[in-house]
Structure 1
Amino acid sequence: MSLSVTVKWCGKEFVFDKLRHSTTVYSLKLMIYEKTGVLPHRQTLLGRRLKLKAKPKQGKEADDVRKLIDVGVQNGMKIMMMGTREEDMKVEVLSPPEHLQTEVVDDFDIEDEMQIQERSMKRRKGVWLREANLWHSYMSYLNIFRKLNTV
């Protein structure tokens, strides 16, 4: 017994006659590839009663190895295919406009890095000294206050 399936893609219809019930989904995708140029892994088949999943669940077999009859393909069925050819996907790499292109200037100098680290250390030391001075002032005022309260 043979099946006849119509696959619609980009406004065109492709008829596949003499398919067997034992034909796998992947075999159908290879036949579609021969007519459309869309690689099988880029094809998504959609149909009203199709039982195909985009990504199989863990522990379940992939739809590509299943037979057409097992996924609900019937004689005379219309299937819509979504997919893009590889050559249609190529992206042209553009360079920035000339007024935005700049030369890379290497202005990193190890001595400059050392100076930055020294300034950072001085700042930290200055903060520590200021905090120590504040603490010393606080303790002085506290001692004066205690002496006044005891008299």
Structure 2
Amino acid sequence: MADAPSSSSSAAPPVADAASLAEVAVSAPVEEMTLVVKWRGQEQTVRMVGDDTLGELKLRICEATGVFPKRQTLLYPKLMLKDIDDSTLLSSIPFKRNVKINMIGTVEEEIFIGQEDDPELLDDFDFEQNEDTPIKDKDVYKQKLKRRASQYKVHLVVSQVPAISFIYLHQFLAAAYSKYDIIIWSATSMKWVELKMEQLGVLGSPDYKITALMDHLAMITVQSENQSRKKTFDCKPLGVIWAQFPEYYNEKNTIMFDDLRRNFIMNPQNGLVIRPFRKAHSNRDNDNELVKLTHYLLSIGDLEDLSKLDHGKWESSIDESAKRRKRS
């Protein structure tokens, strides 16, 4: 049993203020860092670089332990890591050699047994949208993308038995499959991606195949700087896919659907914003947007370069096409 701390040692450790963190960040070169995280008696070695953020460290810890960042409480001598913003660069946090980070946290399986529809895990739609920012060409994010592409392993899908039928969804995917490979990318964990896809009957259809599944660990953290208040958020860089499968996929033949514009901030020319689809079980037969999306995908499927299109006008282009057909 550990001894109770004395009154002199029980005071809260000092919190590193923003000024001191910034001073350290300026003086410290960007370099590789090896951090050891101790959790439930086991040690995990996590390799980072100085221009990674605390939020990205939490993602790497999640990859090693299965504990989501929001479940992690990180303890470090003389630092209150919980009071340091996730956007803070690791190079500005005074980690010391041979000093371990202790973590308290619980994996999702121990919390959400029988709660597979928990909206916080399965719903990608509860974040406010962000305006596009010119960050896709910044070297710091290009380097993050390069590292993520080298670290993340895309989960290729083995077909399974179909389950629930969602009419428009399956018609849409079957039509898309005639001209495109299909990859599902969710901001949740792989367990919940697989679970939801199984519930939707997507992984076992005889009419189409899902090429791969991707989860939140393939995302990178970026910061918007064109607003009065800086905002840090995660996004889904298609470069992760392009780097791993360059013989098949590139910016000219890829289109990405998401209801959050910020998710394709690293590749806005390939993104198409769709409306959130809620209450799938009650609305599954009324998702008319998928019908229009089907027409749009098929109409552009034979083009040599999709990145030159303005996907923001996709609905108007479909409406104009329909009017021309009526006139003819």
Q: TM-score, normalised by structure 1?
A: 0.50
More helix, by proportion: 1
Relative contact order, CA 8 A, sep 6+: which one is greater? 1
Q: TM-score, normalised by structure 2?
A: 0.24
